[in-house]
Amino acid sequence: MTTKTNSKRANLAPLVVDVAVPIGAYYLLKEGLGTSTLMALGLSSVVPAVRTGWSVVKERTVNGLAALILVVNVVGLLLSFVAGDPRLMLAKDSGVSSVIGIGILVSVVLGRPMMTAGMKPWLVKGIAEREAAWARLQDGSAGFRRAERLFSVVWGVVLLAECVVRVVGAYTLPVDTMVWLGSVIMVVAMALGFLVSGALAAGPMAGMLIAETKADAPAVPEIALAR
C-alpha cells in the first residue's frame, strides 16, 4: 500500500507544483485578495520560474510544464498592458490557449509529449505493476508511443482551435455576447479534448497497459489452483 501511495504521489507531484500551484496562486491573488492582474501574474510566475531555473542549473534539463506555465504567465503579463479596446481584451484571453497549444505540439515534435504528465497518473493509478508496464511499453511498443504522441497532438489542436474560434468571435459578435460565450467555448473545447483524446489515445493506452500488466504477472502454480 505504501509503495502504491508513494508512486501515485510521485506521478501527481509535477502536476501540482507546475500547474495547480501557479494557477491557483493567480486566482487566489486576483479574485480572493483583489490584487491587480499584473501583480497576480507576476507573483504566480515565481514557482514555475524557480522550477525552470532549478531544472536547467541542477538537472541540466528543461522542465516542460514549468517552462510552459512560465511562458504563459509572461505572455499574460505583456498582454495586460494592452487596454482600451474591449474586443482586444476579449481576444487576448485566447492567447493563453494558443501558447499552450503551440507548446504542446512542439513538445511532440521534440519527442517529449507534454500532456503525458497529465495523463499518466490516471492510467497508472499509482500501481507499481502498471508503472513497470508503462516503462516497458514506452521502450518496446511503437503503438504505445504513437498513442502517447496522439494524446498530446489532440490537445494541442483543440487548444489552437479554441483560440481561433474565440478570436473570430471577439471581432464578429457583440461584446456582451462574447463575455459569456467565451467561457462556453472553453468548456466545449475541454469536453471535446477529453472525449477525442480518450477515444483515440488514452483508451487504447489503458488497454495496452492492462494487457502488459497481465502478461508480466507471475503464473499461478497448478497445485495452488487445485487447492
At 93 the pLDDT is 61
Give per-residue pLDDT as tens, 18-71: 566 666 776 787 777 777 756 766 676 676 667 666 666 665 655 555 566 666
Give per-residue pLDDT as tens, 156-179: 999 899 889 988 988 898 877 876
Give per-residue pLDDT as tens, 117-159: 878 888 988 888 899 999 999 998 999 999 999 999 999 999 8
At 41 the pLDDT is 60
Residues 6+ apart with CB under 8 A from 166: 90, 91, 93, 94, 97, 178, 182, 185, 186
Tell me how far apart the alpha carbons of residues 9 and 3 are, in angstroms, rounded to a whole number: 10
Tell me how far apart the alpha carbons of residues 199 and 196 are, in angstroms, rounded to a whole number: 5
Question: What is the number of alpha carbons within 13 Å of residue 171 lying toward its C-beta?
Answer: 9
Mean pLDDT of 10-21: 57
Where exactly are the structural domains of the chain? 1-81, 85-227
At 119 the pLDDT is 87
pLDDT higher than 60, residue 7: no
Q: What is the pTM of this model?
A: 0.67
At 16 the pLDDT is 57
Cβ neighbours of 31 (radius 10 Å): 10
Angle separating helix axes 2-15 and 128-140, nearest 10 degrees:
60
Tell me how far apart the alpha carbons of residues 64 and 102 are, in angstroms, rounded to a whole number: 13
The C-alpha torsion from 73 through 75 and 80 to 86, rounded to 10°, is -120
